[in-house]
Structure 1
Amino acid sequence: MSGIISGGDELGSIVYPIPIVVFDSVAATATILLALTLAPPVLSSKVHRSKLWLSMIATMMIFPLFYLLNVGSQFHNEDAPPIGLCILQAGFIYAGPPAATTAVLCFITDMTLGLRSMLFNTKRSSFFISFLIVLPSIIFACVFFEAIALVNRDRGVHFDATHMFCESDNTGPQVKISALLTVISLALTLCMEVWTVVTLYRNWSAVRTFRRTKTDVQLGVMIRLGIFTVIAGFAAVLGAVALPNNLHGQSSWNIFLVTVPLLAALVFGTRRDIMSTYACRRSRKSEFETTQSDIKVVEIYVQHGAV
């Protein structure tokens, strides 16, 4: 590696702390909310989600988490970032978007196969479903190691101009590969969603006759997935515009970038069963505290001979 550069192209560049704090706060909030979204299906027997749904949310949660690896070292305008964390973060950041969009594609593919199985009484391939589950991890690993390998070229890794995270040269092949895979995944996801909607429309009378089962296609899930696909697609279009116009190093763009997983948490984490899980826990805790309080009151009465 030829070296680490602090502050982007210029050593000792001016660091603005407020945008960095906002960036870290949004990334941390997105990570926490996605973890709260993931917890009920994993820990509760009353909330059921498919393995592909779990894979999608877990992949999205890891994406903002990687932006927090260098928290605490972002405010130094003269010191180089920790080399180990900087290399890891650069690789993770390039691998995160294509892995997340691939996870979304695999989830909508599973829903499409479920619809086809329901309408035409066909059996889904368990091997293909298993492949869909591991595909985001394969994409992540390939892009990560490719990005790490390319770090040894040119200048290596460095803080971006805003000091929010580490990157390599934003015109390098690793950026193009990550962007290309992300756009392809989003385009395929959009095509699958359109196909699913058209199929539902053409077979709506048949769909209404089916009882709700594990293979049933839930319209609410489709609507939420469609909303997130539009959001992610909008971010991808902005990214395609940002990179050639040198907007990648602006604070507002970086903050918007970590807002996408935050919106994903709001889209997928506001289902009634997930929200009710935490509401029930608060209710049970309140009831327990009330019972304990009543017991203490009775004990006081007994001690003073009032009972």
Structure 2
Amino acid sequence: MKEFSHKGRHRSHMSLRFLSTAPLAAFFHPDSLLMSVIWSRGVERPLVSQNIIAFDVLASLGIVSVTAVFVPAVFSPRIRRSATWFGMLTSWLVYSLSYVLLFGRQFSMKFPPHGLCMLQAILVYVMPPLCSVATTCFTIDFFLKISKVKIQGKKIGYKTGKFIIALPWASGLVIAIEAILVINDDTAVTLDPNHFYCHITNSIPTMVNIGILCLCSLIVIPLEIYTGILLYRNWAVIKNSNGKNAHVALSTLVRLILFSFIVSLAIALTLFTATHLGKFVAAWGIVLVTLPIFSAICFGTQQDLLNVWLFWRRPSSSKGSDIDGQRPKDVEG
């Protein structure tokens, strides 16, 4: 019996060997002090999963990375960004936060508090389409700046500016109401088989979200292509007005296209998952929490933002560009 127990313990340690260098893995190891304290308080022995650890680490990294981009843009006078840019980053930050509501509870075999589980289930259905609409509105705002502000010398209308700022959150409110109406009993909300997060068992919200994501893609992709054509045809005009604006516009367009490609892959995985509603694919959950990280990489690696963190280097003398963003107060009628 001792030999069998020793072999079983050895296999358990072997299964977590690849995480031996990860600090969080040590905290969630079955023999760790943290787990001992949790079990001593009457919580049933958890279902230890490497996937849960990976999910929580990536979700936390998403919060940190988006915050690292968002905070300097808010407080640094050298960084100028549009209201739609801030709205997009805010949506991705809330998106990341929605997936960590069960942090520390996923390892227990007990069902999490129903109220908390219901809140997370609503958020995880609201935030993906909200983020998609926010990214679409940022793309539209960028297109309007290229086509009107820099080429035709016009300002974006006050009402138009306010509309594209409010649209993502208004759509999120509508989706939240729809999700609440779908949750008609306690069995409509449950924990996914991998213990990542709570979700709604009804397939209607999933299908609605897929429709919104596909619609946003149908808007964004042609708009990005047309924006690229406008940049190409009017490159000399934009460059003559402000040489920095031309390069920033091209850089922003490339970042948008790259991020749209990543989101398109996520949509493809969504469609795959939708055809396997009876099975929860662990890879799908991992992809969900990596999207904010990609958004931070795509939109947070511009020179003015990097200069804030690389404070020991001599900063650039420029204060940003009107193409990649204006403060909300600069949007005039």
The two structures have a TM-score, normalised by structure 1, of: 0.82
1:44 aligns with 76
1:267 aligns with 298
Deviation at 1:214, TM superposition (A): 7.8
Candidates 186, 193, 196, aligned match of 2:217 = 186
Higher deviation after alignment, 87-96 or 246-255: 246-255
Deviation at 1:215, TM superposition (A): 10
2:62 aligns with 30
Deviation at 1:155, TM superposition (A): 2.5
The answer to whether residue 121 in structure 2 is matched with residue 95 in structure 1 is no
2:29 aligns with none
**Per-residue CA shift, 1:41-92, capped at 9, x if unaligned?**
1011111111111111111111111000011111112x21111111110110
Task: Give the Cα separation in 1 of the matches to 2:271 and 2:291.
Answer: 16
1:109 aligns with 140
Q: Decide whether aligned partners of structure 1 residues 189 and 86 sit closer, same or farther in structure 2, where only a CA change above 3 A counts.
A: same
Task: Give the Cα separation in 1 of the matches to 2:102 and 2:83.
Answer: 31
* Residue pair 2:259, 2:298 contacting (<8 A) in 1 also: yes
Candidates 196, 203, 210, aligned match of 1:164 = 196
1:167 partner SS: strand
The answer to whether residue 261 in structure 2 is matched with residue 222 in structure 1 is no
**Superposition RMSD in Å:** 2.2
2:31 aligns with none
Deviation at 1:103, TM superposition (A): 0.8
Task: Give the Cα separation in 2 of the matches to 1:248 and 1:203.
Answer: 50
Deviation at 1:17, TM superposition (A): 2.3
Spell out the pairing of 1:68-87 with structure 2 (5 A cutoff).
68-77=100-109, 79-87=110-118
**Per-residue CA shift, 1:173-226, capped at 9, x if unaligned?**
111111211221122111211110111222233233222588996111111111
Candidates 224, 227, 231, aligned match of 1:196 = 227
1:17 aligns with 49
Matched residue count? 269
Candidates 250, 256, 274, aligned match of 1:243 = 274
1:137 aligns with 169
Q: Which runs of 5+ in 1 are unaligned?
A: 1-11, 285-307
The two structures have a TM-score, normalised by structure 2, of: 0.76
Structure 1's consecutive aligned runs of 4 or more residues displaced over 4 angstroms after TM superposition are: 212-217
2:236 aligns with 205
The answer to whether residue 92 in structure 2 is matched with residue 60 in structure 1 is yes
1:6 aligns with none
Task: Give the Cα separation in 2 of the matches to 1:248 and 1:210.
Answer: 55
Deviation at 1:248, TM superposition (A): 5.9
2:187 partner SS: coil
- Determine what percentage of the aligned residue pairs are the same residue: 28
* Residue pair 1:119, 1:207 contacting (<8 A) in 2 also: yes
Higher deviation after alignment, 22-31 or 120-129: 120-129
